[in-house]
Structure formats: C-alpha cells, structure tokens
Amino acid sequence: MRKGLFVLCGIAVVALTITGFAADRSQFLFLGDIRIGMRGVGKTVVAGDQVAEFAVEVLGIIDEPGDRSDFIVVRVSGEAIGRSGGIAQGMSGSPVYVDGKLIGALSRAAAWSKEITPIGLVTPIEQMLGILDSVKGRFVSSVSAAPAPEAVLQDVQVAEVKQAPGVALVESSPNTLFAYPVATPLLVTGLSGRALDLLMRGADAQMIPAGLVGQFLAPQFAPKVAGLSSFGLNLAPVAGGASGESSTSLALEPGSAIGVGLVTGDFSIGALGTLTYREGDAIVGFGHPFLSNGKVAFPLTSAHVVDTIKAYDASFKLGSLGPSIGAIFEDRLPGIAGRIDQAVPSVRVSFGVLDLDRGQAKTLNVSLVDEPRITWELLLASGFEAIDGTLDRIGQGTVEVTYQILGDGMPAPLERRDLFLSTSDVALYPPWQLASIVSALQYNPFQDPKITRIAASMQVTRELKAAQINHLELDQDEYMPGDTIHYRVELQTYHGKMRTEEGEIPIPDELLADYLVVRAYAGPRDFEAGESPREFSDLGELIEAIEDLPSYDTLTVELFVPDPLLAGPGALLGVAKVRVQIGGYFLYDEREVTSFLFLPG
C-alpha cells in the first residue's frame, strides 16, 4: 500500500512540474517538436519602435549534456537581417516562431563552414518559461527538453568563443560550430574620459591607492574592479540619452526593445535587449543572462531604437533607454524575467565638489541599483565624473572629504571625514575610499545594510597642505609602570614653518615589559606582528570602527610594548595612545623612540 502511494505521489509531482506554467501549451513548440527544415519568422526592432520580421529556417538542434546547453540552430535572412548586417547586438531575446508558435529567443550568433548565410542559436522557450514562472510566483516549470533524434546535428561540435572567429579558423574546422554571444549593448550617457574607461575596463591592482579603509579592518572581500565589459557588455554609441518617450506597458509586445537600468540621473547606464514573451504583467527576454546574478532587483525600462548600424566586427542597435516601466527579478542563464508596473529600490548618490582655487562648485546626483558586484564600478565612475568635471584638470592637490551613508538595515548612519594629498592625481582618493567603505558594508557578515543614500562632499585645492613628522622626543630615557610620558613632536610644514605638538601618555600600572616604544604617526596604521585584526559582533560595531579610523591629518602618538608571546623586535602590542587633529594638513612619515622600563622591586 505504501509503495503504491509513493508511486502515485511521484506521478502527481511530474504532472505538476509539466503543467506548472499557466500559459497555454498550444502557444509553444518545444524541443521535442522541432524538426530540421522547419521555417518561421523572428521579430525584432531594427529602427524606431516598429517590430519587424525576418525569416528563419531550422538547421538542427545542439544537444549537449544537460538542458541548459541545448540550442536550436537557425538560418536567418530577410530585409531586417540584411539592413542590420547580420545578427546585431541588441537582437538577443528576439522571439522566433514556427507555424505561429514560439520556439525560443535568438541569443547567440554562430559561424559554420557549411553555412555562408548568417546563422544563430535560439534558447529554447521551455528554459525561459521556468524563470517566467518564478517571477509569477508559481511552481517552476520543467518541460522535457529531449529533442527528436533526427533533429540533432550529429558529429557537430560546439565551440563557445567570445567573438566572431576568423575565416581561416572556421574553414579549418568543418565539423565545429563556433557560437559567440550577441553582446548586450550598454548605453551610457553623461560619462566621459577616465570615468567611462574605468566603468568599462575596470582597474588593475596597481591603480588602487594605498591607505583605504578596508586595509585596516578585518579582511574583507578584496576589490576586483573588472569593469562592466567583464560581464560581456559592449559599450555602444547612444543617440539622445534617456529618451523620455511616452512608452507604456501596453506598447510592449514580443520583439519590442526593452532596457535594464543601472544608473539614472545626471548620467545614465543601462542595457538594451529584446522582449521574447509576455504573459499579462510578466515578461521574459534576452535569451541569455545579463549579469548572471540570479535573484535581482533592476529597473525594467522602455527603450527606443534609433537604427541598427552595420559594423565589420559586430553590428549593433543604436538606441536610448526611456523611463522605468517595471522591474527585473530574475537574471539567469536562459534570460531575464520581471514584471511590469512594479518598482525596485535604488541608492541615491550625491557627489558635491568645490574647487577652492577657482571658486567652482558642482553637484552630481544619480540613483544606482543596489548590486554589490558592480558597486565599485558605478561609484568610481560617479566619483571621477564629479571630480574631473569640476576641476577640469588632473594633477596635484589636497582634498578634504566627508561621507554619509544611510540604510534601512543600518543601526545608525555612517559618517566619516578624510583628508588626502597627492602630487600626481588628487582625484583618485575620494571615490576609491567611498567604494571601499560601501563594499565593507555590503559584504558584512551580519545583515544587509539596505543602503538608501550615499553623500560625499569635498573641497579641493592645488596647494600641497602637507606636514612631515620630523622629530619625536621623550622627557626621559627610562620609566616605571604608572609613570607619565611627556612627549614632543616636531612637524615641518611643506614650504612653511616648524610646528610643535606636546602631550602626555600614562603608562599602565600593571605593565610588564623590559622596554617600551613610543611612535608618532599619521592616519590609520597596519597591524603589528603581535596584533590580530579586530573582531566585530554586529554591523553597528563595524560602522563604529570605520568611523573611528583616523584621517591623515590626525597625529597619533602611541605606546607599544613587546608581545610576550612572540619573539623579535617587531612583535609589538599597542597599549595606549593620544590623537591630535592637525588643522587640515596631510601628515606623512613617522618617528619612533625606545626607552627602558624598570619594574619596581
């Protein structure tokens, strides 16, 4: 009896899985229905907002291990393809129909020595229906993806390449089909110079300035600023920026252009693709991942295609993004999926820059998606655009900057002040420091900070407001526990006069050591050999630690003693310190004095 019940339940589960999506099965042809030689049409926007059709002929099916690697190989032709110069960037997601039934989305281009006409790969619709079900809150569908044996391209190998291969390579491999992505065009307006370059190409380790907050806390995820091109996104020219077109959800139909927004405001960043299928307020498109993030919360925007431009390396759609019309909630291998008329939270960012030398002030305001994987790129691009656009130069200077970060998941706002100096590029430091702080919050192990607001305000001057820690002396050569050390620090200001700071540090009564070390230094310091990174028990403690790290115009005089558990002169522990704010001067260098410590008795 129990065995029979188990089998019956299993059958019920299979039935539920197959019939999980509410869409009428008669609208689709699945892999098992596809045959070589079938003819149909694809739909996409080539120019304007009018959906155009192109001809499609099925050449066969690529049947790789696992359903996610299966594709329908098609030959494409017609006026829309000829005008576009083949399969263009931005066509990904274009729905393909056979006998009026949807078989999937054009997602990749391909080169094959046996075909001289443009060919492409179609992501089967059954893969895409799974992510559509997810955003509809239904049981995720799983239709059998087993193709008919006679439809499978036998003895054909598939090689995934990043771009269209050369003719010689294709002709030398007659049994290999070279598939390459139909890259998603990234539309950027309002960014220029190195802000745009960094956004796309990222930065290597040599470009990251030393002294950022993350260096002095418990180890965080190391920054890897690879640029948006590392996600397979190609920068495309933009006509007219954010279009402001009055596109509505009613205008969306399979083949329509859609966008995914990343930044809006004084500059904009987003991606252009094509809508594959719509069921009520739910949509699915692209036929391939955007950032491959899984669960996401990105704005779905309207889009306008000005024209499709032929290019030798890769043709592309020239267009612009319109206002937000919904939200993208799934970013998976088969494509993206979301819902119309829904909003997603964003992070409001403000960079205020005052050029003290020219009296010029500018403020840049944008809204960013809350996605930690690309936070560095978006914040750095924003910061560099704000600073470079205000200063209109790259070079030396001193910058004083204050940060404020608020979030619905933060116990309190984070507020911090910094002062940086550079003899070559003063603009480097504020954006990198801000990105470092935000990343430490986003990747904290305790809770999602749900950042809602980031504000940075800075004052910049060409003047090198620096002071060297020139000399440190103590009032005695030897001390006893309980004594008070009186110190004197001399600071040599750049092209200026000597400045003296005096103070005192009490020696703890219970201190046991043969000697002690007093050090004068600026800003935060690295961990000593005998010290461990600070441990935090909650997000509030992490915020306090970030706020407490001294800026580089803070003089610290600290008392160290040898670590009794470690041997060697470098094994020290900090036991007491005094901090002094030095009026806007960037301090550099350090001085150290060693004294004997005599124990009583």
> What is the per-residue pLDDT across 290-342, written as a single tens digit (0 to 9) for each?
999 999 999 999 999 988 887 766 778 888 899 999 999 999 999 999 999 99
What's residue 23's pLDDT? 53
pLDDT of residue 348: 98
Task: Give me the half-sphere count of Cα atoms (radius 13 Å) on the Cβ side of residue 543.
Answer: 20
pLDDT in tens, 181-205: 777 889 999 999 999 999 999 988 7
* pLDDT band per the 50, 70, 90 thresholds, residue 528: confident
pLDDT at 546: 96
pTM: 0.87
Q: Please check whether the two domains, 21-181 and 184-188+231-340, share a CATH topology.
A: yes
Between 338 and 114, name the one with better pLDDT.
338
Distance of CA 79 to the CA centre of its chain: 38
For residues 230-247, give the mean pLDDT. 62
Q: Give the per-residue pLDDT at 20.
A: 45
Q: Return the percentage of the chain with pLDDT > 70, whole number.
A: 89
Percentages (nearest 5) of helix, strand, coil residues in the chain: 20, 45, 35
| 343's tokens | 């909003």
Handedness of CA 509, 514, 520, 523 (dihedral sign): negative
Question: To the nearest whole percent, how much of the chain has pLDDT over 90?
Answer: 65
CATH number for the domain running over 184-188+231-340:
2.40.10
Mean pLDDT over each residue of the chain, to the nearest integer? 88
Q: How confident is the model at residue 139 (pLDDT cuts 50, 70, 90)?
A: low
- Please say whether the beta carbons of 352 and 457 come within 8 A: yes
Cβ 316 vs Cβ 96: under 8 Å: no
pLDDT top residue among 141 and 362 = 362
Give whole-number Cα distances, 211 to 172, 222, 280, 428, in Å: 53, 14, 52, 12
User: Number of C-alpha atoms within 13 angstroms, CB side, residue 280?
Assistant: 10
Q: Which DSSP letter does residue 211 get?
A: -
* CA 527 vs CA 452, 464, 521, 532: distances in Å: 32, 28, 13, 7
Q: Please check the confidence at residue 247 and state whether its pLDDT lies above 60.
A: no
Quote the CA–CA distance of 93 and 270 in Å, as a whole number.
16
pLDDT at 142: 57
Sign of the dihedral through C-alpha 265, 271, 274, 280: negative
Section 93-110 average pLDDT: 94
Three-class DSSP category at 197: helix
Q: Is residue 238 pLDDT above 60, yes or no?
A: no
pLDDT at 146: 84
The pLDDT value recorded for residue 313 is 66
Q: What whole-number distance in Å separates Cα of residue 503 and Cα of residue 150?
A: 88
For 94, 293, 335, the CA distances from 331, given in Å and listed in that order, are: 17, 5, 6
279: tokens are 């069921």
Comparing 194-198, 227-231, 495-499, 527-531, the range with the smallest average pLDDT is: 527-531
Calculate the dihedral angle through the C-alpha atoms of 88, 89, 90, 91, rounding to the nearest 10 degrees: 40
SS3 338: strand
541, burial (CB in 10 Å: exposed 0-12, middle 13-18, buried 19+)? middle
Domain ranges of the chain: 21-181, 184-188+231-340, 347-461, 466-597
Question: What is the structure's pLDDT at 5?
Answer: 34
How far is the C-alpha of 479 from the C-alpha of 504, rounded, in Å? 13
In whole angstroms, give the CA distance from residue 111 to residue 176.
Answer: 9
Mean pLDDT for the stretch of residues 251-277: 94
Average pLDDT over every residue of 476-482: 94
* pLDDT, tens digit, 9 for 90 and up, residues 372-395: 999 999 999 999 999 999 999 999
- Of 587, 559, 576, 421, residue with least CA distance to 501: 587
Please tell us whether the domain made up of 21-181 is placed in CATH 3.40.605.10.
no
Query: Which tens digit of pLDDT belongs to each residue from 551-594?
Result: 999 999 999 998 877 666 668 888 999 999 998 999 999 999 99
pLDDT digits (tens, 9 = 90+) for 1-52: 333 333 333 333 333 343 444 456 789 999 999 999 999 999 999 998 899 9
Dihedral sign (CA 68, 72, 75, 76): negative
Q: Tell me which of 158-172, 282-296, 452-466 is least confident.
A: 158-172
Residue pLDDT, tens place only, 345-357: 999 999 999 999 9
Are 363 and 352 in contact by the 8 Å Cβ rule? The answer is: yes
Query: Does pLDDT of 408 surpass 70?
Result: yes
Q: Which residue has the higher pLDDT, 600 or 425?
A: 425
